[in-house]
Amino acid sequence: MLRRNFIKTLGASIATGATGQKPASGQEREHVSGRRSHDAVVVGAGVFGAWTADHLQQAGKKVLLMDAYGPSNSRASSGGESRIIRMGYGADEIYNRWSFRALGLWKGFFQRTGLDLFHRTGVLWLAKEDDPYLQATTRVLQKAGVNFERLSRDELTRRYPQISLDGVAWGLLEPESGVLLARRAVQLVVRETLKGGAEYLQGAVVPPSAKGHLDSITTRSGDVIHGGVFIFACGPWLPKVFQELLLNRIFPTRQEVLFFGAKAGDVRFQPPAMPTWICEGDEVYGMPDLENRGFKIALDRHGPAFDPDTGQRLVSPEAVSKMRAYLARRFPALRDAPVLETRVCQYENTSNGDFLIDRHPGFDNVWLVGGGSGHGFKHGPVLGEYVAGQVLGRGSSVPRFSLASKKTVQERKVY
């Protein structure tokens, strides 16, 4: 009953943009948890957990997906309205390959479900004269056969007169890239996974204390969930669940996002006139006005430490001032634009920005999956495929995703 009711509510949520869902009754909780054992229990219904559950379910496993607050909720790193999907990753070929494959998987998924949550806005990189990151990106995109254009400053001026090119020497445009509507996309993945036979339970997990082999986990409300393997894909909550192991290896930080409104009738900041853009030298990125929400802009720089449960999600006056100053410099027509919406989310990076996908050293059947934001969302379907393969003993592992490669000092190298 829980699974059927959740699918119905989630379907309405995706269609209307609402986020409410029916809480489980005690009888329904017993139906899901009881003392029945699942082949795999996935804790965390964000983009990583949802796609992992989907791939395990497609492999014929009996899967239970859990979340403390609900799929792609407002506290989750996957809970924002929009996330960039781009192919450029400097010299990091593995992320370039994953992004390229993920875009095809996202598009195929949306085609199968009949709900397109991808906007092909193009992604424009604004570069300094000798920008090593963008030069490396150019080489990797060429090697991978990814479609892109290198734009001179004159060409940038002609195509995008609404952008002030102070400090910009050239641009790199990925015309096939764009924006995923994140919250709704994750909820759609969960809905389809449940339709395929997986089950869902909303509940906050008590950190496991035993070692060796984990037979079950318990929620704070008393549910006991038995499983063959447990995958913790709970993002910024990972260092809370496994404090001793991860408290100093995953760093949740507060990130502020603002949406500004152009003047009435001004379409220069909507697609196709305006692409999604990244100014790597400024550590700022933004998206055009999608679905009439406003022009999105944010710093791609780590904020202060942040608690995903209790942190206040009100944008600071300092953030508004900084973004206004940046708009005046880079997008002068938006100098006095009103703030339409704001969000406070979080990154949850590892020490260097690489993903964490590894078995827990204290358990033979517990996996840790995280370290994805703020660049991981786009990779969801490929990452879920990789995690499922690792759990099922299929395919080789990527050493840079190991726990052993994660340090205790935050020195991000992956962007």
Residues forming a β-bridge with 264: none
Return the pLDDT at 27: 36
Per-residue pLDDT, 412:
83
pLDDT (0 to 100) of residue 10: 59
Most confidently predicted of 16-20, 33-37, 318-322: 318-322
Question: CB count, 10 Å around CB of 120?
Answer: 18
Residue that the structure tokens 């206004």 belong to: 324
Where exactly are the structural domains of the chain?
2-78+183-249+352-405, 119-177+251-343
Read off the pLDDT of residues 94-110 as tens digits, 9 standing for 90 and up.
999 999 999 999 999 99
| Three-state secondary structure string covering 327-391 | HHHHCHHHCCCCEEEEEEEEEEEECCCCCEEEECCCECCEEEEECCCCCCHHHHHHHHHHHHHHH
**Residue 406: DSSP 8-state:** -
Distance between CA 39 and CA 20 in Å, rounded? 29
Share of the chain above pLDDT 70, in %: 91
Q: What pLDDT, on the 0 to 100 scale, is given for residue 7?
A: 47
Question: 119-177+251-343, superfamily in CATH?
Answer: D-Amino Acid Oxidase, subunit A, domain 2 (3.30.9.10)
> Max alpha carbon distance in the chain (Å)?
67
pLDDT value for 413: 85
Distance CA 252, CA 310 (A): 13
Average pLDDT over residues 42-52: 98
Q: What is the pLDDT of residues 119-154, one digit of tens each?
A: 999 999 999 999 999 999 999 999 999 999 999 999
**Measured distance CA(370)–CA(251) in Å, rounded:** 11
Residue 316 — very low, low, confident or very high, per pLDDT cuts 50/70/90? very high
Reduced to 3 states (helix: H, G, I; strand: E, B; else coil), residue 401 is: helix
Give the pLDDT confidence score for residue 13 in this predicted structure: 54
- Kindly state the tokens that stand for 254: 């507060």
Return the pLDDT at 30.
40
- When the pLDDT of each residue in the chain is averaged and rounded to a whole number, the result is 92
Per residue in 345-384, pLDDT (tens digit) is 999 999 999 999 999 999 999 999 999 988 999 999 999 9
Cα–Cα distance, 373 to 223 (Å, whole number): 30
Q: Examine the pLDDT at 3 and tell me if it is beyond 50.
A: no
Q: How far is CA 256 from CA 20, 179, 250, 293, 319, in A?
A: 24, 18, 19, 16, 7
Q: Which two tokens stand for residue 377?
A: 């969302």
In the CATH hierarchy, which fold is given to the domain comprising 2-78+183-249+352-405? FAD/NAD(P)-binding domain (3.50.50)
8 Å CB contact between 366 and 208: yes
